[in-house]
Amino acid sequence: MFNNEDLTIDLWVDPPLLNALFEDARSIANKLNLTSVMSEINDLKAKISSRVRPVPNVSGSRYFTYAIDSSFPSSPLELVGGVLTVVAYGYVGQVGGKSDRYVTGDIVYEDTSEINRSIEVLSKIREREMVIRLLKDKLQGRKNIDLIILDGEIYIHPLPYNLPAYEGVRRKVEDVLERLLNLAEKSGTTIIGVVKRVRSRYFSVYAGHCLPINDKLTASLILNKGEYISLGNYGSLLPQWLQVNYMDCEIKKGMSKEEAERRLNEGIENLRRVFNGDGGRLSGIPKIADVELIFYKSPITTVATKLEVLDLGGVGVPNIVGYLSSQTTNTGYPYLLDLVDTYVRVDSRLLDYVKTLLTRYAGSSVSDDNVRELINTLLQLTNPQKAYLYRQMEG
């Protein structure tokens, strides 16, 4: 135990480590001092004050809304023969005062160092395949849907800056988004992305230079409770952001002007290909240019929420913002998104059940003892000391 004035640490920490933590904490705390950037925020606020709007009161509005999410354990199961995890994905809908929900999932077993990225991309693909399923149900008259809410951006990286590579799991990115966006337009359904992890700095476009803080923090400082702001659509915003990013942000980081200009020209060309559907080859992908970027601050939160809105259903941005703000909880996100997050959540201990199933099914399919022994070896933990993280639930 360590005690220093009002700070108590109820665990043993070696003195050299503790000293290092104190020094780093002081250094980071100095960087977190926003005094030096508040003048920039005030200047920016004056420039964009005309874009700030009050959040409309539309709490009485009722839209048929579905929220989509996916989940996977924070730590996959590291086995001798590969990496094992489970990806769960599903939806929760509010339809005429009734709840409609569904969850399913996949087992992922790969022997690759890129497993974490593969899992992340796969989960996003599965979410959008779930959206496609809902949109098909709507077109066939089986479901009523006005709004579909995604946890995260509407697109999947490397979009919108680049079209995906034609290999590996990313090969599916283009296809799934192409189908989703075309079906959303055909069915007249508005797609909304609620973005939690915000590292973008698009406000820099309106500041005219690279801002030192991210958009979520900037919006939180600019907006009062019950206000929202639209930064425009990606078709106009992203080319301007590339200009600021490469010719200011990257040069300040040390990139040469020649390299910055080369990267800028390359980025503009990549955006052009995305926004024109690779010369007309794609009809759905160009709709990414119509996605509108919005930040709002609900009356009960102090932190702004980032939205991407593709309003193919004609609901109207003010109505969308008012509706989502009215059901925003103290988490800063709409209640339906909190609900689906809880519904699809995966306990890491489930992985031990999956490992047991694999061992049982693989062992029962062979009669050779040597092969059975090989299977058992493949499914052993590479780090048995961590077995407690995945121990099966009792009861």
If one compares 38 and 189, the residue with the highest pLDDT of the two is: 189
State the pLDDT at residue 365: 63
Looking at residue 61, its pLDDT comes to 65
Per-residue pLDDT band at 395 (split at 50, 70, 90): very low
Cα-based distances in Å from 238 to 155, 260, 261, 278: 14, 16, 16, 17
Helix (H) or strand (E) holding 84: strand 82-95
Over residues 83-131, the pLDDT tens digits come to: 888 999 999 998 877 889 999 999 988 887 777 788 889 999 999 999 9
- How much is the average pLDDT of 369-378? 69
The candidate with the shortest Cα–Cα distance to 298, out of 325, 316, 276, 278, is 325
Question: Residues 305-319: what's their mean pLDDT?
Answer: 97
What is the pLDDT of the chain when averaged over all its residues? Answer: 88
**Residue for token pair 């077995």:** 387
Q: Is residue 321 within 8 Å of residue 56, measured between CB atoms? A: yes
- 393 confidence band (pLDDT: 50, 70, 90): very low
- Per-residue pLDDT, averaged over 267-290, amounts to 96
pLDDT tens figures, 197-221: 999 999 999 999 999 999 999 999 9
What pLDDT does 10 receive?
73
Q: What average pLDDT does range 315-341 have in this prediction? A: 94
Residue 30 confidence (pLDDT) above 80: no
Give the span between the Cα atoms of 122 and 112, in whole angstroms. 15
pLDDT value at residue 394: 40
284: CB partners within 8 A, 6+ apart: 177, 178, 179, 180, 181, 182, 185, 277
pLDDT score, position 360: 80
